Amino acid sequence: MNLSHLLREAEELPTDASPEYVQETLAKLRAALADGLEGHRDQLRAFLTLADKFGSHSDAWNAAMLLEASGELDSHAKAIRVSAWLRLFPDSARTRPKTVLDLLGPDGRAGLTSAALSGVLTRWLDATMASAERLGRQEALSQTLLAAAELGACWWPEQDWPSEAPGFASAFVDAAHQVARSLLSGRLRETARLSRALALAMMVREALDDEADRAEDPGAIASRASAQDAPGGRDAIDALVRSLNASRRRIWVVGALRTKWEHLMGVAKTFGIDPSVFQHIGYDELKGRSLLDRVDLVKDFGVLLGPVPHSVSGLGGHASLVSQLRHEAGIGVVELRTQFESQDLRISKSSFRSALERLLADAAVTGTTP
């Protein structure tokens, strides 16, 4: 089998392909590339991209080094090399983050867009958060948070993170929340630098909400269209709100909050809904008790679902909490997602407003009454 055929086969692999098959394919490519390396610069670059796609950081790093030995790296290759370095040398990355600037070249950016640079930091933070949750390495996460803040400040003023690098800003806030929980539980010791990073995360969180509020949410547009098509149109939703306020039915807000509860209730009031209708279940509360044990399938009105742990209690064979709720609860369920390209789950003022509008519109369309 020739090199071109191997590359085509690897490029067609989905990201969730069997890890064993991925490693076998990459091993075949490594062997093929070792034969006549000088004539394979384009194929080596394709291999670099594939190694990055499948998270084979050592392959990506080695491919980048070989490419650099045969000529200057382009910005795409430099970005992959930096991502590989952050994952392969985590201790150096946390203690000497500005090495990234040297790897990117004289200007510290390699001509990369803000979106590309944001992607590098976002992937680093996401991977560290996942590792911290799995292995309990909260100290490593706190150090990575500080290092990411140092790098982010090299590329954008802190107040511009939400507009220039929203993916990174969102990941930074998520990491800060995880660190804050560890501080409260006594698993981490607070330092002046860490306190400043957490304060910065609060500022970024508020700015992200403001940024999202300025954007028009396509989901909200769809919800408004659905409401207009519902029997009675806007009047149907107004009647629904009046019935909700008069009944004892609840709307559950589930998951980690990214804004203050009173801010969300301020949004609810703009719909005319009394705050007493809403109940919140936090991120950590879902680990010990099934949500179905709390929700009254007869009396409750709906669930607005935000970020929840991977290890939610009592899923009963379902792949996710949202799947379980939709199949077993029999009440409206709407996920709260960002308006950014990543579409991450997040409970912010903007996502709450959009999800609440959709929940009401769907109920009006189906004729559901409180």
- CATH number of the domain at 279, please: 3.40.50
Q: Specify whether 116 is located in the same domain as 226.
A: no
Is residue 221 very low, low, confident or very high in pLDDT (cuts 50, 70, 90)?
very low
Among all chains, which residue has been given the structure tokens 């610069």? 41
CB-based contact 227:234 (threshold 8 Å): yes
Dihedral in degrees, nearest 10, Cα atoms 128, 129, 130, 133: 120
Mean pLDDT score across all residues of the chain:
80
Domain limit, last residue, from 191, 213, 235: 213
Smallest Cα–Cα separation from 291: which of 339, 264, 342, 255? Answer: 255
The neighbouring-strand residues paired with 254 are 281, 305
Q: Specify whether 286 is located in the same domain as 193.
A: no
Q: Specify whether 14 is located in the same domain as 133.
A: yes
Q: Specify whether 253 is located in the same domain as 356.
A: yes
* Residue range(s) defining the domain that contains residue 264: 218-366
Q: Specify whether 145 is located in the same domain as 271.
A: no
Among all chains, which residue has been given the structure tokens 């029999």? 330
**Side-chain half-sphere exposure of 309, counting CA atoms within 13 A:** 19
Given a cut of 80, is residue 91 above it in pLDDT? Answer: yes
pLDDT of 32? 66
CB-based contact 261:346 (threshold 8 Å): no
Given a cut of 50, is residue 94 above it in pLDDT? Answer: yes
Q: Which residue type is seen at 183?
A: L
Q: Specify whether 316 is located in the same domain as 278.
A: yes
Contacts of 356 (CB under 8 A, 6+ apart): 251, 267, 268, 271, 273, 304, 334
Helix axes 138-155, 114-135, angle to 10 degrees: 170
Q: How many structural domains compose the chain?
A: 2
DSSP letter string over 322-346? HHHIIIII-SEEEE-B-SSTT--B-
Interatomic CA distance for residues 249 and 246, integer angstroms? 9
Dihedral of alpha carbons 164, 161, 187, 311, sign: negative
Q: At 278, is the secondary structure helix, strand, or coil? A: strand
The predicted-structure confidence for 341-368, as pLDDT tens digits, reads as follows: 455 678 888 788 888 888 888 777 665 6
Q: Specify whether 323 is located in the same domain as 356.
A: yes
Structure tokens at 196: 């400043």
pTM: 0.58
The predicted-structure confidence for 241-292, as pLDDT tens digits, reads as follows: 888 888 878 898 988 887 789 889 988 988 899 999 999 988 777 666 667 7
Q: Specify whether 154 is located in the same domain as 292.
A: no
Structure tokens at 241: 């709100």
Interatomic CA distance for residues 300 and 98, integer angstroms? 52
Q: Specify whether 173 is located in the same domain as 276.
A: no
Q: Specify whether 184 is located in the same domain as 315.
A: no
Domain limit, last residue, from 158, 187, 213: 213
The predicted-structure confidence for 38-70, as pLDDT tens digits, reads as follows: 446 787 888 888 888 888 899 899 888 888 877
Q: Which residue type is seen at 207?
A: A
Domain limit, last residue, from 213, 248, 277: 213
Q: Specify whether 140 is located in the same domain as 81.
A: yes
Smallest Cα–Cα separation from 353: which of 281, 282, 228, 259? Answer: 259
Q: Specify whether 258 is located in the same domain as 343.
A: yes
